[in-house]
A and B are shown apart, each in its own frame.
Chain A
Amino acid sequence: MSTVYKIKKGLDIKLLGEAEKTIVDLNAKRYAIKPPDFIGCFPKMLVKEGDKVKTGSPVFYDKYRDNIQFTSPVSGTILEIKRGAKRKLLEVVIESDGKGESVDFGSADVGTTDRDALIEILLKSGVWPVLRQRPYSTIAHPKDNPKAIFISAFDTAPLAPDFDLIVHGQGEAFQTGLDVLSKLTTGKVHLNIDDANTVSKVFLNSRNVEINHFSGPHPASNVSVHVSRIDPLNKGEVIWYLGAQEVLTIGKLFLTGKYDPARIIALTGSEVLKPRYYKTFIGARITNMVSGNISDSKCRYISGNVLTGEKIERDGFVRFYDSMVTIIPEGDNFEFFGWLSPGFNKFSFSGTFPSKLFPNKKYRLDTNINGGNRAFVMTGKLEKVFPFDIYPMQLIKAILVEDIDLMENLGIYEIEEEDFALCEVIDTSKTNIQEIVRNGLDLMRQEMS
């Protein structure tokens, strides 16, 4: 039995540079685990530069939850431990030796192994961090019993990869992953798919889960949207969530006994000459994707999508949870009377540009802010791309004044910074709304712990 949830509010930003449906091998030489990808994690190193590691060898652990450890995605040598200001750990770079040696964690029969033993294996192998929780999007706490687990098996963000293609032919690993997940919660495991576009048998034939169909514009694939429609999160409750590729990693761990951090990464964006999919491992360096494959303009390299991704260098690494890399032009140029020009090539959610008349047009958008920072003047607009029973502007203001009670009352537990990404895009005042929301969530996390 399945239900279709229709999301009405939102916005699909159509960009040029969607990935072709071909998969090639990336053959990246270097990989990195980046502690900043894990919210609230205080890394403690377990290796030194020059140490040899196998796939699955521990690299660092979380100081405050020391059973959560992070393991190497490849076998090879620790090349560099990069630190930033105040010695903050930024990246652990590993050079692959191509041998593909793995630590054996021993395969286990999911049906007969109990919950604690499953968790033990997940923790030891470094697979555990694929499980995150709401509120706050931190790595799930092994001691919690989540009221449900949510899997988003589609992505509505601009240029998002096609998960049907990514999981193709991996039905067994996916189902094993789901079987593990269903033992981790006393509640339900929700597999959320795109009502119109998800056709893969891997998803549709899944057992042991509740399949929910979603339709509508972005952010229809966001976890918060699914939670809000299926099983709203109240104060004090916890749900866990993960993506489709991460379910595969869990499944393969129990099928083979080895940590298999394989990832298929979509390379997209208007500046990519040949946008397509690459087969690699978690944290791969993008150099091999981009060299000779990028237009001549000055570019912004993004791990993730244009809404929530992170700027990385041309020789940077894909983030832990990302399934795509986007490359768009930088917009660091002045535009003469830009605000006055008719602007047929400019994207706007407001009706102030004629491009609104061509809803199917695809754009080559750059990173220019397109204006200056102002106070909030245009009210009542953010709500149009924010499909929650929450007042976004009022919540943002509550965060800005750090009113804990008000933030809680206005529903801060139910949302995440990514849910405000579209608000941030369409905002006339050019405020960095996601940053504000993140600060609010961090504040709540500190106050509540």
Chain B
Amino acid sequence: MKALRNLLDKQKPHFLKGGKFEKFRAAFDSVETLLYVPDKVTSKGAHIRDAVDMKRTMIVVFIALLPSLIFGMWNIGNNHFLSYGEAHGFWANFLYGLFKMLPIIIVTYGVGLGLEILFAQIRGHEVSEGFFVTGLLIPLIVPPEIPLWQLAIAVAFAVIFGKEVFGGSGMNILNPALLARAFLFFAYPGDISGDKVWIADKADAYSGATPLGDAMVGDFSRFTPDAALDMFMGFMPGSNGETSTLMVLLGGILLVATGIGNWRIILTVFAGGYVMGLLFNMWGANEYMNLPAHYHLVMGGFAFGAIYMATDPVTAAQTKKGMYIYGFLIGMVSILIRVFNPAYPEGVMLAILLMNVFAPLIDHYVIEANIKRRLKRLKLATK
């Protein structure tokens, strides 16, 4: 370890201002801070600081995503072989999925981190860890057959226009991972919707529709009473990592236990979705509306969105009351889009992006209420 530290210390001057590799400072910096927690000490304010930093926070989210990632890889393999009428063991399914997903993950990280380092260099900042998680979220919410060049463009779009133009991680208005998906959705709809894309290298005759796809075209034959459990477990085609509600919940438990994911938002998104489902049940104008409300919670990316996307601390509402409103509306709008909008089978992505835009407004009114309380107290005091 000493040798490595010595090597870094020896090379460091070359990367600092005036050194011969000055242009690669941000890249060197990202490697150094990855290997070593810096030796910087407190100079102002509190003398001790919490052990948590952005890297620690992000690695926990990363770990929380692993169940979904591993299950997703297995599921890709499983669905692929099922479409040919074959059944294989865990490892065969998993390895098939692994080789399908690796290029997607590599392209996402390559493009995203490359841009992050570039911007950090230009701005003279340290490289932010924000993309550490975004880079894993994006592969989990795209179909297994996503063309890599499209993915690369979407990631670049999300990083540059979703984040860096606002000033980088922490300044963005929209969730970058969902923005990448939205970009794909509107730019290349043929490759991210329909019934062809959800199973990797599928046999032609086999139907590859997702439950949401079926529901949208009015085919409710698969929604048998025990299908909900299947959907909860996630044995169905879909985006790479979102199909299993169970795995998503496992990650969710870790996020809530560590205090990184906000339980208020998670709970209210689910509540909002469920209440909207019940409202539709009462209305009951068509078969989709009559679908028992709990199906909505286990279908599609609802749970994944609720736990990993809606809770993004940068783009969510930041006041307690605001969080309740924000989460509840995401849940409701998701189901509203699902049931009412013929063009979009899944509404979570758009609901979250929409509420991302409204989050500052919600917070504004919550804070105004605080200000009014203070002014009222002042009035009473001066009377």
Contact = CB atoms under 8 A, between A and B. Distances in A.
User: Are chains A and B native binding partners rather than an unrelated pairing?
Assistant: yes
Interface of A: 13, 232, 234-237, 300, 302, 306-309, 311, 326, 328, 330-340, 343, 346-353, 365-381, 383, 389-391, 393-394, 409-411, 417, 421-422, 424-430, 432-435
Q: Which of A307, A377, A429, A430 has the most CB of B within 10 A?
A: A377
B71 to A, nearest CB: 23
Contacts of A411: 370, 374
30 contacts: A234-B378, A234-B382, A237-B381, A306-B48, A328-B47, A335-B37, A336-B4, A336-B35, A348-B50, A350-B52, A369-B38, A371-B54, A372-B38, A373-B126, A374-B53, A374-B126, A377-B170, A379-B318, A380-B262, A383-B320, A389-B370, A391-B370, A394-B363, A410-B370, A410-B371, A427-B49, A428-B52, A428-B54, A434-B44, A434-B45
Contacts of A430: 49, 53
B46 A306 contact: yes
Nearest to B316: A379
Contacts of A335: 36-37
A447 B38 CA distance: 39
B259 to A, nearest CB: 5
Interface stretch (B56-64, B190-198, B297-305, B332-340): B56-64
A409 B371 contact: yes
A336 B37 CA distance: 7
A234 B377 contact: yes
Contacts of B241: none
Contacts of B178: none
Contacts of A346: 51
Interface string B142-170: 00000000000000000000000001111
A367 B47 contact: yes
A307 B46 contact: yes
Given A234-B377, A375-B167, A13 B48 contact: yes
B37 A339 contact: yes
B49 A433 contact: no
B145 to A, nearest CB: 33
Contacts of B374: 234, 409, 411
B367 A391 contact: yes
Contacts of A343: 51
Contact of A379 (B40, B41, B313, B378): B313
Given A307-B48, A348-B52, A367-B42, 8 more contacts: A328-B47, A336-B36, A350-B258, A370-B50, A379-B316, A390-B370, A417-B45, A426-B52
Contacts of A234: 374, 377-378, 381-382
Contacts of A352: 52, 56-57, 60, 258-260
Q: Which of B46, B373, B382 has the most CB of A within 10 A?
A: B46
B320 A369 contact: no
A428 B318 contact: no
Interface of A is mostly: loop
| Interface size classification for chain B | 35 or more
Contacts of B54: 371-372, 374, 377, 428-429
Contacts of A338: 36-37
A377 B313 contact: yes
Nearest to B259: A351
Contacts, number: 213
Nearest to B322: A380
A350 B260 contact: yes
A311 B262 CA distance: 36
B130 A369 contact: no
Interface string B222-265: 00000000000000000000000000000000000111101000
Contact of A380 (B1, B48, B313, B373): B313
A99 B320 CA distance: 61
A372 B57 contact: no
B367 A428 contact: no
B171 interface: yes
A340 B59 contact: yes
A361 B4 CA distance: 33
Given A234-B378, A234-B381, A351-B258, A332 B39 contact: yes
B47 A378 contact: no
Given A237-B381, A350-B260, A424-B46, A371 B37 contact: yes
A356 to B, nearest CB: 8
Contacts of A328: 47-48
A411 B378 CA distance: 11
B173 interface: no
B323 interface: yes
Contact of A309 (B36, B47, B126, B170): B47
Contact of A434 (B46, B370, B381): B46
B225 to A, nearest CB: 38
Nearest to A383: B320
Contact of A421 (B40, B45, B129): B45
Interface in B336-383: 363, 367, 370-371, 373-375, 377-378, 381-382
B293 interface: no
